[in-house]
Chains A and B, each alone.
Chain A
Amino acid sequence: MSLSLIAKSIKASPTLKLNEKFAILKEKGDPVIHLGGGEPKSRMPMDAILATVAHVNTGEVRYAPADGIPALKQAIIRYTEEFYERKVKPENVIASGGAKQAIMVALQAILNPQEEVLFPAPYWVSYPDMAKLIGAIPVAVLPEDGTFYPRLKDITDRVGSYTKAVIINSPNNPTGAMYSEEFIADVVEFCEKKDLWLIMDDIYHRLIFDGKKPINCYKYAKKFDENSKIILINGVSKQYAMTGFRIGWAVGNKKVIEAMSNIQGHQTSGPSVLLQKAAVAALNGIQSGVESLRTTLENNRNVMIDLLNSFEGVKVTKPDGTFYCLADFSAYEKDSNKLSEFLIDKVQVLTVPGKEFGLDGHLRLSYCGTIKDIQDGIERMKWALDPNSANELYIGDRKLVRDWS
């Protein structure tokens, strides 16, 4: 009795696996530093906490509509109006168990087996496996010019008769790159012309730096309402530091949202009403937390990039947003899995190998933690990698000795 081909074709999410490894070391009392994180450490909005508690206190946490409670849909409609200047209807909105589920059910609703979904590399680790989960084919395109900023030509060169959808994630996990307004305009126009679905994974759109403003993809769309093939993804995980609440959403045309709702209804029955109430409160409540998270992250980025710039042999592109950067360590080790393992084993710093995002030789480093974690983490990495560093390193009262070269 064997498992299905689908079960065999997908990998475990490596970021989650690394988190498990970290948890085990931490439990053992090892002084591990997590530079692999995917979530802000700030406090979630008080409004959301109070709404959760208030709903729990009713003692009635029951089944809710599979596509989201009306109040959350209204909050999403308002959010879409505020950030995208589009007035959508409840039928254009689905609330899901995280942006992850929203993307998953979107792909299930639009792709047939063997059809292709195309996305720029480096990419979020889950896209290829999500496509494989439904028997579709992921096509990752690495910008030809060697930057983290794709141009339209990178995309058009790879679009063929099997291409059904494009996913754009900007600002991008893992690079932190925010694609240019021109690129977004080009892609929107191109997808409309070719009648392709365009999934805009905007989960990091408010976490951007250097005075940049979020980009509104609809500004460049000519097809509206039921003709629009843009599926806009967002959620509360990152901007409100509410990863554990598992609430995300999608905005799209009525037909595709209906199909997604049916699929979600059979998959999970939709997200918990309790968590949806919390998301409503976060979306409608005081927004100052988002700005303070954003400034913290910008400051953290500056610290990390300065440290990496003075790290000889390492090359890094300054991120425009998110809380990641993808630094080039190939001068030290071309196999990023090996390097990542080396760093956790030797100096207990958790990083994510670039290979998982489609670019070997790089490591993804997160700056969502504390400044101290960033400083200590990079210092340890430097000590481990730089052949000229001292023979010993103290971590608290632990002494590490270099027994490698």
Chain B
Amino acid sequence: MKRDNHLDYHLNQIIVTNGAKQGVFNSVLATVNEGDEVIIPSPYWVSYPDMVSMANGKSVFIQTKEKDGFKLKPQILEKAITPKTKVLILCNPSNPTGSTYTKKELESLAEVIKNKNLFIISDEIYEKLVYGDFKFTSFASINSEMKQRTILVNGVSKTYAMTGWRIGYVAAPENIVDALNKIQSHSTSNASSISQAAAIEALAGPQYVISEMLQEFKLRQEFFHNEITSIKGITCYKPEGAFFLFPNVSSYFGKTLGNHKISDSFDFAMLILQKAHIAAVPGSAFGAEGFIRFSYATSMENLKEAAIRLKRILVKIS
């Protein structure tokens, strides 16, 4: 965090978790009381609302717009905050859209939050997966007040392709980490010592693997984005980060292919799964009907093949 984001944390402000997932889950549990509101910009990572409901909290979704790059606008955030709001969950870069906030955008959100009584859970698990000249900014680095309010979640799953090791971490003010420590010590104990040893090497070792991975991802993103936007009826925001594309496919709704009727993103996903053997996740799973999520964390060959199949099948739809 210091090396990459100029963030200083003490040991007692950091906890190692069983995946970033446990980091977010326990952060919600540590802050949300029954009936408290948690603001979740939509489209969102599927797990957030379930985590909130397990803490008996209430998810308040703010629908972001494709034309805004699926980013939360400060005026809209301000309107959504009520006296019951306890937490804002910010996923930056975002799963499923890949959108990533600039420093300026985060500052304008901080400006709104400044006078409000709420925590920010900043899920930065895709931090390293940003492209070109885009410079990632951690929400905790905006200013010292925001650092006091931010529960920063990160992990090794995405950056180092170490999903199966189940190591994440949270950095936050000491009293929050203390609470997380208590919750974790009774619910799972520590993350495995073996996995922690592996994560140390990943974080402290040479980092060039990341830039190699990024170059590769960027090529795939360019390629697949070009391919799908060349299809009539599909628009797609080109995001700065993560490894997802989140195209708008709503122009196909109401149309048919043979006896296959497409009325929503779920139908669309089923259609391309059955007819073209392409697995994608319907936007409705992320609270965004009309869209579909493609992951380009797969080989270039697969992406080329997928583009061909997708075009072949979509032209037949009428």
Q: Which of B51, B54, B185 has the most CB of A within 10 A?
A: B185
User: A61 is contacted by which of B19, B86, B118, B164 (Cβ under 8 Å)?
Assistant: B164
Contact with B along A249-283 (1 / 0, CB 8 A): 00000000000000100111111111100000000
Question: Interface extent on B, as a size class?
Answer: 35 or more
Interface of B is mostly: helix
Binding-face segment, A96-104, A176-184, A305-313, A395-403: A96-104
B32 close to A268 (CB less than 8 A):
no
Decide if B102 is an interface residue (CB 8 Å cutoff). Answer: no
Docked CA distance A246–B165 (Å): 12
B21 with A104: CB separation less than 8 A: no
Q: Are B192 and A275 in contact (CB under 8 A)?
A: yes
- On whether A13 and B119 interact (CB within 8 A), knowing A3-B176, A52-B194, A274-B164, the answer reads no
* B 187-217 to A, binary, CB cutoff 8 A, 1 in contact else 0: 1111111110000000000000000000000
Interface residue? A244 (CB, 8 A): yes
**For this complex, into which size category does the number of interface residues on chain A fall?**
35 or more
Residue of B nearest to A273 (CB): B164
Do A266 and B192 touch across chains, with their CB atoms under 8 A apart? no
Give Cα A60 to B162, complex, Å.
Answer: 8
Given the known inter-chain contacts A4-B33, A274-B165, please indicate yes or no for A100 contacting B187, CB distance below 8 A. yes
Alpha-carbon distance A5/B57, docked complex (angstroms): 12
Residues of B within 8 A of A266 (CB): 21, 25, 47, 50-51, 54
Chain A residues within an 8 Å CB radius of B119? 1
- Interface membership of chain A positions 98-133, coded 1 if the CB is closer than 8 angstroms to chain B and 0 otherwise: 101100100010000100000000000010011001
Does B163 lie within 8 Å of A62, measured CB to CB? yes
Residues of B within 8 A of A133 (CB): 29, 183, 186-187
A113 to B175, CA, bound (A): 25
* B166 interface hit (Cβ, 8 Å): yes
Count chain A CB atoms within 10 A of each CB in B30, B192, B193 and give the residue with the most.
B192
User: Is A11 in contact with chain B by the CB < 8 A criterion?
Assistant: yes
Beta-carbon contact of A246 and B189 below 8 Å? yes
Is there a chain A Cβ closer than 8 Å to B117's Cβ?
Answer: yes
Query: What is the bound-complex CA distance between A184 and B22, given in angstroms?
Result: 35
Q: B46's closest neighbor in chain A, by CB?
A: A266
State whether B29 touches A272 (Cβ < 8 A).
Answer: no
A/B interface sample: 29 pairs, CB < 8 A? A1-B117, A1-B119, A3-B30, A6-B55, A7-B179, A13-B185, A16-B185, A52-B194, A62-B163, A63-B163, A97-B166, A97-B188, A100-B189, A104-B187, A130-B186, A133-B186, A244-B193, A245-B192, A245-B194, A246-B188, A246-B190, A266-B50, A266-B54, A267-B21, A270-B166, A271-B192, A272-B166, A272-B195, A275-B195
